[in-house]
Amino acid sequence: MANVLAVLEQRGGALKQVSHEVLTAARTLADAAGGTVDAIVLGPGGVDVSGAGGYGADRVIVVESDDLSLYQPEPYAAAIVAQTQSGDYAAVVLAATAMGKDLAPRVAGRLDCPLAADVTALEWNDGPVASRPLYSGKAIAKLQLTASPCVISVRPNVFNPVENARDGTEQKAAPSETELRARTVEIKEPEKARLDVAEAPIVVSGGRGLKEAENFKLVEELADALGNAAVGASRAVVDAGWRSHAEQVGQTGKTVSPQLYVAVGISGAIQHLAGMRTSKVIVAINKDSDAPIFKVSDYGIVGDLFEVVPRLTQEIKNLRGG
Amino acid sequence: MKIAVCIKRVPDTEARIKIGADGKSIDDNGVKFVLNPYDEFAIEEALQLKEKAGDGEVVAIAMGTDGSQETIRTALAMGADRGVLLQTDVVAVNPVTVAKALAAELDGAGYDLVLFGKLAVDDDSQAVGTIVSELLGLPSVSAIGHLDITDGKGTAEREIEGGVEVVEFSLPAVLTAEKGLNEPRYPALRGIMMAKKKPLEVKPVEVSDEGIAVVELALPAERPEGRIVGEGPDAVPALIEALRMEAKVL
């Protein structure tokens, strides 16, 4: 028997959507191994964990403290490690979010156990078998984990949440006494909140074909018309200083898997394709019919983006309006 | 200020990846190897901090095969003072294995700061720097886009989904650099010449990588061939129709 510990994530006292994905991934392992899924969440008092049972948590351990409302690396890691020592866990599963990418290595380091990061597929064969992209997705490695426990972080937007009603029995736990060697003091929110490129269900990205920075308004207007969309950028335009690195899609930027990815004036360098090729549907608009971006696109329009994009924006507005 | 920068030799981001004959690793033939792009930001930050402090030392540490000596020379050409190669032919799958070897080298050596790139663009684990901080019991902040250090105290900013976390810590500390932390310098010819004379110590290390192994390495599935719906703005209605009726994403 092998149980799984799923680390859930909250922001502002509400469970993040990605927590359902973590539970689904944890359930995959636990069901194959004949074990249970315990979930753990850290946060301020009153985090609503009622949804966790619906996605497969047999038990939800809630570690509450006003000091834990923001992600604090050391107490978060300490609480998870303490929990692993109180149960027979084959794996600790987290989301490879900004928090998870910092937290997973800490837990693996403290437990001195293997870490498989940013995993995109999971099976069980005498232990977890985890597939993860290497070289930003230019290759996929299948890894056999034989140590127990091990730590697995799963890429957001990959494991489709599956409803799976379990007890979700809530159980409070006291935070461990931990010195805060580093302390998160605040989260600065941007003034105009646009969706993060790694989280958004739709991404509209622009490249060098836009010719100059101010023409990115075409991309922004299309994103606004679509709604629920983030703006992305190619490395070339980030390096040129047109857009911030937070928006860069590709090997030295973000890897994205949205429902819809629209590439505007992006030729499709290898390092860019690596970052977006797992998008569900890809649309490319480019004047060069030989551009590599068309090779990975589901739908393409060959043409002048300065004519095509405004028309597309208008048609989508018409559609949304009617 | 004494600063260690841990760096890695990786395939260039423009490199095409082919699978090797063992089916578990890549075929190195014809692949150009470079200093990991994120490590350039770590080296630049270390050099700027040393310059600001007025004195100190920047040590570039790499783990890997002899080929990594070239990578260390790149760091020396940028301005690092000396290099250390933790030499092994083992390509560890578990980031904890790598972190242990680096932590053993760093422990007790009196570094005020240990810098890493936020991830290596080969294994993409984004883990080693943070694990090193845990093994050494030091504060760490990962993927930082901004850093201030004054009187032994640091404030770093890191991007999270839809915001920026502000984190305070005291030195010594471990930090991993996000792109945009600074503008890395190019090695000047003089730097490249001087780098050849700078000390580079080669230390063989024993590495034991357990509990995780590569079963198979494969190329990703090809996307099914798509189609060009048309040319110019007149193709827009056909695109919208396809997105609504076929793809069902609108």
Query: Is B231 in contact with A182 (Cβ distance < 8 A)?
Result: no
- Which residues on B lie below 8 Å from A283 (Cβ)? 239, 243
Q: Does A188 touch chain B (CB under 8 A)?
A: yes
Q: Does A289 touch chain B (CB under 8 A)?
A: yes
pLDDT on residue B119? 97
Residue A1 above 90 pLDDT?
no
| Chain A stretch 145-174, residues whose beta carbon is closer than 8 A to a beta carbon of chain B | 145-147, 150
| Chain A stretch 74-133, residues whose beta carbon is closer than 8 A to a beta carbon of chain B | 77, 97-99, 101-102, 104-106, 108-110, 112-118, 129, 132-133
Question: pLDDT tens digits for B2-49?
Answer: 999 999 999 999 999 999 999 999 999 999 999 999 999 999 999 999
- Give the pLDDT band (50/70/90) at residue A192: low
Cα A308 to Cα A304: distance, rounded to the nearest angstrom: 6
Q: In a mutagenesis test of the A interface, which of B223, B229, B246, B248 is the best target, namely the one with the most A β-carbons within 10 Å?
A: B223
Q: Retrieve residue A96's tokens.
A: 């490879």
**ipTM of the predicted structure?**
0.95
Residue A193 above 70 pLDDT?
no
Residue A70 above 60 pLDDT?
yes
pLDDT on residue A95? 98
Q: Which letter does DSSP use for residue B243 in this model?
A: I
- Give the pLDDT band (50/70/90) at residue B133: very high
Q: In a mutagenesis test of the A interface, which of B8, B13, B14, B119 is the best target, namely the one with the most A β-carbons within 10 Å?
A: B13
Q: Does A259 touch chain B (CB under 8 A)?
A: yes
Model pTM?
A: 0.94
Q: Retrieve residue A304's tokens.
A: 């002048």
pLDDT on residue A320? 86
Question: pLDDT tens digits for B53-76?
Answer: 999 999 999 999 999 999 999 999
DSSP conformation letters of A165-204: ----EEEEEPPP----SEEEEEEEPPSS----TTT-SEEE
Residue A322 above 60 pLDDT?
no
Question: pLDDT tens digits for A18-41?
Answer: 999 999 999 999 999 999 999 999
Question: pLDDT tens digits for B162-181?
Answer: 899 999 999 999 999 999 99
Cα B191 to Cα B78: distance, rounded to the nearest angstrom: 6
